[in-house]
A and B are shown apart, each in its own frame.
Chain A
């Protein structure tokens, strides 16, 4: 469908965010969608739905983001949200080791229960609470054993990275507060989605050209979204 500036093929990708309560799932989304950060966000009841586009060189990916509630008891609702998801962002708080355990549980759950071929990214959030420079040397993904001295970090990059490699997950450390690495996560996911699943996976929803107009409208209604953030997403 013709997007005003980029007549590239566009497809939507259903992405679900999972992770322990208060690791910053909603904040990541908010940063990605609105390039904004709020200290006090209303807790997610069930799940929140937002959309954001991500421009790739060859195509446009429209993320339909399901931001789920983190509280443990909402876990049984999660299947409702990760159903048919093509991508998942499993978030932990790198100042909280238990949140990584929970994240591992989610990864296992997704690997067994979600649609096959789902792209999973493991994201350690709240990098701003560590002493590491969260800006600048972004591309390097700073896993060069950077000094984990006296900061709040409790989960080493190495540990999480090793785990991510074992399970073949994308891995990032982010800060929703500073915005560090946030768009990178989504871009990496967009790139990792296999072409094939883009065409078929969403079924009527994705291929339905008639629905496009409605979708366009929805994007605006879905949340007050900053048009600038599109640029932020592009890579």
Chain B
């Protein structure tokens, strides 16, 4: 079982607006783990397991060259942390107590004295620890002595040969730590440490590889072993490092560093003491720069995790192409082109490989211009693998979102920067506002390329030195200092151009004296750059990670909304000509729906995956996961960059279910529970909510239906046949349905949907599928203006109708009528179908006439409907009732094999009448001729109905058949297009969803299950003409299942079928003219007046419960009575089953019960079929 509560917790986290900002360090309430990872710059695989207060003692022997007081040493009090693979110590207060928020933690703030987030202390990989001893101590104190591999890993083989010599040259790094705390806690910590150390043994080889690439190893190697070539410390070794080494005092710096490293450990075993931070502030020496960057940014720990990832990535993707690679290629020659290294193939090759490898590892980011500049800068000081990992630390942690496809991080930080300027330099800010100068025009490149191409390289690297230790706040501090120093001049600049010029000239003179006229030579020696650093870190010491975080949070929504609006605007505008058929509002809403569905699905995926990962507990850390939880949380939000823009079939279902009620499933597979975590955004998801919503693949929304029609629609829209839809596909698809409001278009479209091979013909199965689709689409009632007389009632009436019994009348009747129309549709289709050999030309001719004048036909219908008695068409009333009455009597004598012939000939007159009626209005109809013609046809059709004779209908036939029925016509003209509630969604279109579901409960209980059962029953039954049921077996759900589910309509079908059989019989007997008059009545079967007539016939009422009661009973007699040829399925027989079921049960099932609880009503129906034991079984199955 899934742990629900943890899910809910996760989901709530997710829904908390302050959570998941995807701004790594700026979460308002970040997880303990992410704070820990941030503080020590550790990979996402590391979690704080144990933590204890401790005192670190660095023994004097280590701290000095021997000339210092042996007694003193260094002591630091702080916290000792243990993670899976690291032992960390920091003097900076812990940042990840349960109660900690970033505002109480000064950790990442990095006290601007320059200690950086991890303060003084160390971050030892456990594999770098050689030995841990417990010391005896007098005060019952728990003390550990830790010896590291510092300096030994390199020469482990030689060690054995000559340990004594080694001792002399490489001093053992040994520190002591006194744990302060309860004995138990100390023991626990030590147990954890023991475990970790054991596990760390395996990583020693990795450590060796990583360390071997560090220049410090070479630097500290005894002179006599320095014959080996030094490790690659960047292009600078080949092409010189930028700047004059003398001026930079590189040698002096190197000596200082050598001393520090000797005393305090090198690379991974380095201990941070105040000197360390001071040394960084004065600028790193060239050859060590790369290594220290790697260390302070934490990218070395990424490398330690996967030392070969870079090479592997390149090997894996070698020879492949991508958009990113194309983009990279364009910029290779223009990355720091002034540096000689990048005028050479060597340098360009390195740059290419690093950028390419990263674009593979983080495909979401891929390649962004400015990365080339940053990486080029890195490559001057470090080797390719180092640059690769540092780039990923940058993208994931240091400047998150800067290089994403929407660059939201860049834009956000520009807003933050503007906010800081406004706060710290109000006068300048006002000046900018007054002159309409946009600050970000100037500052954006600073941040995006980390000052690398804004300042002369030497100075940019000094900024980077501090940036990697102290974090992104440095970028802000430097930026503010630049503005402050140039404040006077900037106040004179009246536009963007002037503004840029001032700063450009400032950057060009950074190496000049800041106080050239000063008397004091010391002051004169201060360069402008030094001044800049002082201003940045002294004057703007108030700019901390906290203040930045706060501002980021404050501006985040606005920035993301801006981006999203822009993206949306652009996307919609670029949708192409088809989109013009939809209104801008509709396009906007479609866009939102499309991405909301994708976003929601991604979120749920993420949670489910996370949960799975949590349970399987083998979450292998990958480089892409460096940023851990914060990475995927809001992934999918358009503003944050690359989200999937492809909609698969399931997403498509969900998408449709958000705006079309027919796309909502009748049989939710997951039970409904209480709501939780209202999502403010998705108001249209309000109807069905489940507590396990996030768990369910459908989230909080209604479960979408799965019907063949949806699949067809999906395939149709998926023009590239790649199994996914783009927004473009969706818009084009919808534009064709909703676009022109053109009935012919809609009819054609529907036909095309079912014309599998595109040959303009739809075969028997296709016809059945069409009718099935029609029923599927209408099963929750029709929308749109169905007839002039009752257009209002339908739209409003549907909703109302579902809530109140009296309101049921108009809506319900429409649905009934529609059902009738659909059966008439099937009948006519078969009648007018062409056999699969081109023979029947006359049919086409007739079709032509019929379809040529649809509008007039429409008028005809309209005029009829305009009649006050809207639902009764003229004088057909009585006939209709007669008919119904007549139908009921022979019902008691079911004919097992009514065969297709009677059916067909029965239906023929109906169509004939219709034709003649339309013809009479339209063109010169010679009724008698026509009749004769259609008789011939009907005979042909009879043959055609034989399943052994393949048949098909063509588009004109289909059109004619549709136009022959005013309801179908209206369906295609308005109701089908209207059923896509693009703008308002279902929430407003069906405000009474829950109540309407009361009438749908019969679905929920019977639903698809019923369809399947019925279809199964049908499958073995042999009978006459093809039926919807045939399609039911062919496709999931099944027409019969759908039929069953038609609200209030089951009985109608029964009646209709029964009557048709009667007609057929009579038709057989009379075989001509009289039947045509009867046929006239067929069309009116749809009318409301039928209902009372039917009720008289003994049914309980047209209530939903009754209908499904019918359904419940239906399939069973079929399976009992008929058997054999599965091919021989017919409307008639299935409808007959239905009818029998109805007869048996209708009376017992009451309308009230059906209006109530779904289960109850289902049960009632089942018991309604008590007379038939099998029916009961089926009913029960449905419930299950």
- Chain A residues proximal to chain B, CB less than 8 Å: 12, 21-22, 39-47, 49, 51, 64, 69, 71-77, 79-81, 83-84, 105, 108-109, 112-113, 202-205, 208, 210-211, 214-215, 217-218, 221-222
Contact = CB atoms under 8 A, between A and B. Distances in A.
Contact of B497 (A108, A203, A222): A222
A204 B498 CA distance: 13
Given A43-B331, A81-B441, 18 more contacts: A12-B495, A43-B330, A45-B444, A49-B496, A49-B497, A64-B496, A73-B406, A76-B411, A77-B410, A109-B573, A202-B495, A211-B495, A211-B498, A215-B494, A215-B497, A218-B498, A221-B505, A222-B504
A45 B436 contact: no
30 contacts: A21-B369, A39-B333, A40-B337, A42-B335, A43-B335, A44-B369, A45-B448, A49-B500, A69-B369, A71-B368, A71-B369, A73-B368, A74-B369, A74-B407, A76-B406, A76-B411, A76-B562, A76-B563, A76-B566, A77-B410, A77-B411, A77-B444, A79-B566, A80-B440, A80-B441, A202-B495, A204-B435, A204-B494, A208-B494, A218-B498
A33 B373 CA distance: 25
Contacts of B404: 73
Nearest to B444: A46
Contacts of A73: 368, 404-407
A43 B500 CA distance: 18
A42 B494 contact: no
B498 A214 contact: yes
Contacts of B494: 204-205, 208, 210-211, 214-215
Contact of A40 (B333, B370, B405, B569): B333
Nearest to B372: A43
A8 to B, nearest CB: 20
B434 interface: yes
A43 B1133 CA distance: 75
A105 B369 contact: no
Contact of B501 (A12, A40, A42, A218): A218
Interface band, chain B:
35 or more
A84 B851 CA distance: 56
Nearest to A215: B498
Contacts of A41: 334
Grouping DSSP codes into helix (H, G, I), strand (E, B) and loop, the B interface class, with mixed when no group exceeds half, is: helix
A45 B453 contact: yes
B495 A64 contact: yes
A81 B497 CA distance: 12
A137 to B, nearest CB: 32
A205 B436 contact: yes
A211 B490 CA distance: 12
A233 B368 CA distance: 35
Contacts of B337: 40, 42
Among B336, B434, B496, B569, the one with the most A-chain Cβ atoms within 10 Å of its Cβ is B496
A45 B370 contact: yes
A37 to B, nearest CB: 14
B448 A203 contact: no
B889 interface: no
A171 B484 CA distance: 45
A12 B370 CA distance: 30
Interface in B552-597: 562-563, 566-567, 569-570, 573-574
Contacts of A109: 569-570, 573
A218 B497 contact: yes
B570 A105 contact: yes
A77 B407 contact: yes
Nearest to B574: A105
B626 to A, nearest CB: 21
B449 interface: yes
Contacts of B492: 211, 214
B631 to A, nearest CB: 18
Contacts of B435: 204-205
Nearest to B559: A76
B451 to A, nearest CB: 11
Given A43-B334, A69-B369, A205 B441 contact: no
A224 to B, nearest CB: 12
B155 interface: no
Contact of A45 (B449, B497, B573): B449
Contacts of B334: 40-43
B504 A221 contact: yes
Interface in B444-496: 444-445, 448-449, 453, 492-496
Contacts of A47: 441
Given A208-B494, A217-B501, A45 B327 contact: no
Contacts of B372: 43
Contacts of B562: 76
A62 to B, nearest CB: 9
Interface in B360-380: 368-370, 372-373
A203 B496 CA distance: 13
Given A76-B567, A205-B494, A218-B501, A108 B445 contact: no
A10 to B, nearest CB: 14
A112 B373 CA distance: 34
Contacts of B327: 21, 71
A21 B330 contact: yes
Contacts of A204: 434-436, 494-495
A108 B410 CA distance: 25
Contacts of B453: 42, 45
Contacts of B369: 21, 43-45, 69, 71, 74
Contacts of A214: 492-494, 498, 501
B438 interface: yes
Closest 9 pairs between A and B when the two form their complex, measured CB to CB: A211-B494, A218-B501, A205-B495, A40-B333, A221-B501, A46-B444, A45-B445, A42-B334, A43-B369
A43 B367 CA distance: 13
Nearest to B435: A204
Contacts of A215: 494-495, 497-498
A199 B445 CA distance: 31
